[in-house]
Amino acid sequence: MNNTILVTGGAGFIGTNFILEWIAKSDARVVNLDLLTYAGNRRNLSSVEDHPRYTFVHGDIRDEALVASLLRKHQPRAILNFAAESHVDRSIAGPPAFVQTNVLGTFALLQQARLWWESLPPGDQARFRFLHVSTDEVYGTLEPQDPAFQETTPYAPNSPYAASKAASDMLVRAWHHTYGLPVLTTNCSNNYGPWQFPEKLIPLMILNALEGKPLPVYGDGWNIRDWLFVEDHCAALRRVLEDGRVGETYNIGGDNERPNIEVVTAICEILDEMVPDPSLGKRSGLITYVKDRPGHDRRYSINSTKIQRELNWRPTEPFESGIRRTIEWFLAHLDWVNYIRSGAYQQWIEQNYAERLAQ
């Protein structure tokens, strides 16, 4: 076994950030197994494509023969499972892909990870880790006065996405409890930052506001999310990978709860300042309240005391600077935006927003 890690789903938003930082900050190799769904873009990683410590493999985590051959070939010391269908609205419109990748994909990965891990000599077995990247949505929803989610909060997933991630977390737990596979699970709050696919709230609002399009806020705009800059999430994952206690779960959050309407208004104000457009007036005038998401969770809040205490991790990027950095990044990467907003993306925007905006 060598110092290589196998990352799944590394061509998506968080995986891209993780790999770029991993190559820059460590001397270890990374193998990226990604199916390149609509959310995965090989171009995200073009700056490391030819790097001697980076290998891209186009494939599916459900393909057990492929996963087995990658494990034999690259002998990784860890698997980090980012691969998932990740958008709640898409899970409502079409749940099968979520069960396929999030549940059956994680299952396939665990099967092969276990077989390979069992074949290792004891020293390598002790060193190996399976890090499963999960979400705070498994805990369900909070009322305004409820305490934040802890690792001990019972699972109560509400959307097909959350249910599929909860199921995957349970499989990971069982593979540790039953077979002894050295697993770690992280449950993180909403990320934002560079490379985020513009179906999610923050990049969607940045691009619509830039282009003078309606800003579709679901319901009353008072659903609350706990926003974390993606680099802080990646730093937390590195800490968990290196020093997390095997079999444990770690909550990761930004200590940064904000109602959606506040996030959207902040984006409008920053864009008004950075890219003034007299023809639009104040961009907050583009805010349009639309039909709510079915089963829309009201509030997420993460108690990350455990990872702070045990692993000395805490969020470092304040929202005020993180959102500016994110907007600046999108303004500087409009060629990337145009590339990924082709074909399939337009279909999704039409499917999700045409009826909502017509109301």
The residues that are catalytic are: 136-137, 161
Q: CA 344, 165, 246: angle at the middle one, nearest 5? A: 130
Tell me the H-state helices in the chain. 13-25, 64-74, 88-93, 96-98, 106-118, 122-127, 160-179, 201-210, 230-243, 260-274, 305-311, 319-332, 334-340, 344-358
Binding segment toward ligand NAD, per CB under 6 A, in 117-125, 149-157, 189-197, 274-282 = 189-197
CA distances from 339 to 42, 175, 200, 267 (A): 12, 40, 17, 23
For position 86 contacting ligand DAU by CB under 6 A, the verdict is yes
Among 51, 53, 62, 293, binds ligand NAD (CB under 6 A): 62
| 74-88 b/e (C-beta count within 10 Å ≥ 16 → b) | bebbbbbbbbbbbbb
| Closer of 239 and 299 to ligand DAU (Cβ) | 299
| Closer of 99 and 280 to ligand NAD (Cβ) | 99
Residue 340 interacts with, from ligand NAD, ligand DAU, none (CB under 5-8 Å by kind): none
Q: Which of residues 275-304 bind ligand DAU (CB under 6 A)?
A: 293, 300
| DSSP for 157-197, written as a single string | --SHHHHHHHHHHHHHHHHHHHH---EEEEEE--EESTT--
Dihedral through CA 231, CA 236, CA 237, CA 239, nearest 10? 130
Among 38, 179, 218, 348, binds ligand DAU (CB under 6 A): 218
Residue 170, class by beta-carbon neighbours within 10 Å (0-12 exposed, 13-18 middle, 19+ buried)? Answer: middle
For position 98 contacting ligand NAD by CB under 6 A, the verdict is no
Residue 14 interacts with, from ligand DAU, ligand NAD, none (CB under 5-8 Å by kind): ligand NAD
Structure tokens at 265: 């208004």
For position 35 contacting ligand NAD by CB under 6 A, the verdict is yes
Cβ–Cβ under 8 Å, residues 203 and 196: yes
| Closer of 15 and 194 to ligand NAD (Cβ) | 15
Nearest-angstrom CA–CA distance, 124 and 129: 10
Nearest-angstrom CA–CA distance, 231 and 249: 20
Among 31, 201, 236, 327, binds ligand DAU (CB under 6 A): 201
Q: Which of residues 1-30 bind ligand NAD (CB under 6 A)?
A: 8-9, 11-15
| Residue whose structure tokens are 């109301």 | 359
Residue 260 interacts with, from ligand DAU, ligand NAD, none (CB under 5-8 Å by kind): ligand DAU
Nearest-angstrom CA–CA distance, 355 and 98: 24
Cβ–Cβ under 8 Å, residues 273 and 231: no
| Closer of 48 and 261 to ligand DAU (Cβ) | 261
Binding segment toward ligand NAD, per CB under 6 A, in 23-31, 122-130, 190-198, 236-244 = 190-198
Structure tokens at 311: 């692993």
| Closer of 19 and 201 to ligand DAU (Cβ) | 201
For position 224 contacting ligand NAD by CB under 6 A, the verdict is no
For position 223 contacting ligand DAU by CB under 6 A, the verdict is yes
Please give the residue whose beta carbon sits closest to ligand NAD in the complex.
12
Residue 153 interacts with, from ligand NAD, ligand DAU, none (CB under 5-8 Å by kind): none
Cβ–Cβ under 8 Å, residues 69 and 117: no
Contact positions toward ligand DAU, by CB under 6 A? 86-88, 135-137, 189-190, 200-201, 204, 216-218, 223, 225, 260, 293, 300
Contact positions toward ligand NAD, by CB under 6 A? 8-9, 11-15, 33-37, 39-40, 60-62, 82-84, 86, 101, 105, 133, 135, 165, 188, 190-191, 197
